[in-house]
A and B are shown apart, each in its own frame.
Chain A
C-alpha cells in the first residue's frame, strides 16, 4: 500500500521532470516516426528535382530555399498539400506541388528528406533578445520544442525550425504577419507574428537559425 503510493509519486515526478526537457530527436525510434509511412530509399530517386533546389541532403546552400533535412515528413506532406489546394502560395512551389499528385511519391519524397540528419545552424547567431523570445514563457519553444527541433516525434503542425536558414525564417514570419501566408489552421502564427516588429523578427530568426 505504502510502496505503491511512493511509486506513483515517483512516476508523476519523473513525468513532470521529463516534460520540461523536451524532445531530443535523434533516436532510431524518433527517426522512424519522423520519416512516417514513406520509403526514403525510393524517395531519394523520386526527389531529384526537389534536390536541385533543396540540396542533395535537404540542405541548400542558398537561403532562398528552406532546408528540409530532418523535417517531419508529415509536415512536408502537409505543406505540399497546401500548395496544391492553394491555401499556401509560392510562385515556384505551387507549380512543383501540382506535379506531386501521386500519394506514394509524396510520402516517399517526404520520407527521404525526413530521414536526413536534422538541420543545424552553421553559426551561433546568439542574441539575448531572440533567445528570450524563443525560450521564455509562451515562446516559440512551447510548440517548436527545445532548440526548435520539434516537440514530438511526428508532427504535421509545428515544424522543426532550429537551424533553418535565417532569410527563410524571416520571410515566413513576415508572411504570417501580413497574412500572405495563412495556412496555419489555428491562426496562432498570424497572431504571434502580428505582434512582432521587423527588428524582433530579425532577432528571433537569427537565434533560431543558429540552433
Chain B
C-alpha cells in the first residue's frame, strides 16, 4: 500500500488551548482525551486498591473503619470498570477505527465530543462523596460492592444516589460511543473494504458496540427501579411489597456478564495486530476469530445467572447456566489458538508491546481456566464470593483487558505522539507488573480455597501470611504503574527519537501508512482497497 496523501492545510484554522479540547470533534483528539481520562482514573482506582491491600496487610482493623472499607472496595470496582477500562478501550476505538477503515472521521463527530465530556462529571459524582467524607461532610460514597445488590442498595445512604447518577452518565457516554462505532463501521468503510476485509480490531469493537446497545439499557432500567424503590415508593426489590431482591441480581447480571466481554473484546481484537507485527507473520485465523466474536457475543447474553448459583436457584436452572457458561470457553479457546498460531514459526522480537501481549495470553489463560472451576455449580457453592473468585476476575480483567490496553498503549504511543517511548522503562514496567501481579493474586486463589470470603476488612488468623504476601505484591504492582505514567509523559514531551510512519518493522495496516503523528485529517484522498 502506497503512502497515503495528506496535507496540513486545515491545521492553521484549528483552535488552540482549552477551547480546542472542550469543543473538538476530531476523532484522534477525542480518542486521546478518552485515553488520558482512563489513565488518570486507573491511577485513582489503583490508589484505592493500595489502601485496600494496606488494610488487609495484617489481620485486625488497622486504619479503616469497616464502612470506609466497603466504600473503598465499591469505588475500586466501579472506577476500574467504568471510569478506567471502558474509556481507554473507547479511546482506542475512536483513535484507530477511522484510520483503519480509511474514513475521514467517526460518523457522528459532535456526538463523539458529548460522549467524552459526560465522563468527567460522572467521575466526580462517583468519587466526590469520598472526598467530602474525608472532610467530615456526609456519609461517603456507595458502599454496596460494585454489584449494588438489593436490599442493601435500597437502604444505604446518599452515596448510592450519587453512584446511580454516575452510572447513568457513564451509560449514556458508552451508548453514544457505541452508536457512533456501529454507524461508522457499517457506513463509512473505504471502497473495497468489505466487512471481512476490515482489520480485526474493528470487528471486535463492532461486537462490543452491539453488546453495549443490548445490555446497558437493561442496567439503566435496573438502576431506575432502584431509584424508585429508594425514593418513589416502588417495591421492585422489596419482598414486603411483593417484589424480590433477586430481581436486581438478574437485571444487574444480565448486563454484568456481557459487560465483562465488552471489556474483553476490544483488547482481544488488538492482540492479533500486535502479535502479527512482532512475529512478522500475517495473523492466523481471521475468519475463525470473527466467528468466535459472534459466538462469544451471543453466548454472553444467556449465561448471566452463573453469578447467582448461591441465590436459591433450582437445580435445573443451575445445570443450564453451568453448561452454557462452560460452552463460552470454546470460542475463547479458538481465539487463543489463533493467537498462538500467529506466533508459531514467526520471527519474533520482544519489544514492550509484545511482552505485554504474551503476558496477556498467560494471565488471561489462567483467568479463563479458573473461570471454568467457578462455572461448576457444585464447586461454586463453596467458591462463590470467596477470594478464589476475586483472584479469578483479577486474572481475567487485569490479565486480559488491562494488559491488553497497556500493550496497545505502547504499540500505538509512537504513532500517536510521533516519538519512541523508553524501551528500558517499558521492560521494567512489564517485569515488575508480571511479578507484582502474580504475587498479589496467586496468593488469593489459595486463601480463597482455604475459605476466606471477599469484601471483608478483617479476616481469620489462618489467612494472615498469604494476605501479607498478597499485599506486598500489590505494592510492587502499584509502584510499577508509575513507571508507565512517567514513560508516557516523557514520550509525549518528545524525549525519545522520532517515530517513522510504519513505527514497527512488521507493522501493517492503513494507520501505519500515515506519518507519526498523523495529521489532524488523516486522509484527504479516500484510500481504495483492492
| Co-complex (A, B) | no
Binding site for B on A (CB under 8 A): none
